[in-house]
Amino acid sequence: MTAPMDPPDGNWWDEPVNRRETIWLGIAGAWSLVIFGWMSGFTRFGDQNPVGKTYDVDPGAYRDRVQEYKEAAAETDEGIVPPNDSVYIGAMRFNWDGLPVVLEAGTEYDIHLGAYDVQHGFSIRPEETLSKQINLQVFPGNEWIVPMTFDEPGTYHVICNEFCGEGHRTMHGTLIVEEP
């Protein structure tokens, strides 16, 4: 008897495939197509993943937009209050430009995401739970506009979930959602 890791004897790759193996390969192939279609449909029709729109933008020009937004916004002790329904957030090592921000519960906001330097991950979750969160990728040279509505008041934590350098672990921010 041979060990499981020993190569088989003879010219095994020229042997015909057993009928049972062919059936199982067919079942596995059909199941992969079903799962692929399910994931695609869930993304498009399931309201699970925010899609939004993306635009090519120079990182320096996006940084200027974020600065204009911050200058137009009102400052409070808790954070920036946006002047309208657009919120601009810029990712840079190792900070979120434009955060903290104060939003109203039940209002739909267009969250504009962009990076100034490298790829970052935008992970947002309510303060009291780890099970409700979304994870998005933010790339330099792209502006991603994601519509979001926060139904529940509270503090939402934003972290970078894509390793961006030595200070990555310090890249935190908050969104404070208040009753209207």
For the residues of 39-89, what is the DSSP string, one character each? Answer: HHHHHHHSS-S---EEEE--HHHHHHHHHHHHHHSEE-SS-EE-SSSEEEE
At 1 the pLDDT is 56
- Distances in Å between the Cα of 135 and the Cα atoms of 93, 138, 158 are 18, 10, 10
What is the number of other CB atoms lying within 10 angstroms of the CB of residue 120? 29
Rg over alpha carbons for the chain, rounded to the nearest Å, is 24
pLDDT by 10s per residue, the chain, length 180 = 578 888 777 787 788 888 999 999 999 999 999 999 988 887 777 666 667 899 999 999 999 999 999 999 999 999 999 999 999 999 999 999 999 999 999 999 999 999 999 999 999 999 888 777 888 899 999 999 999 999 999 999 999 999 988 999 999 999 999 998
Quick one: CA dihedral 170, 73, 70, 76, positive or negative?
negative
CA 140 – CA 155 distance, rounded (Å)? 27
Beta-bridge partner residues of 81: 74
Which tokens hold the place of 8? Answer: 């088989």
Predicted local distance difference test score (pLDDT) of residue 51: 74
The backbone torsions φ and ψ at residue 121, rounded to the nearest 5 degrees and listed phi first, read -105, 135
- Fold for the domain defined by 53-178: Immunoglobulin-like (2.60.40)
Q: Cβ(89)–Cβ(115) under 8 Å?
A: no
- Beta pairing partners, 20: none
Query: Which helix (H) or strand (E) is 124 found in, with range?
Result: strand 120-126
Distance (Å, whole) CA 15 – CA 18:
9
Contacts of residue 29, defined as CB under 8 A and 6 or more positions apart, other chains included, come to none
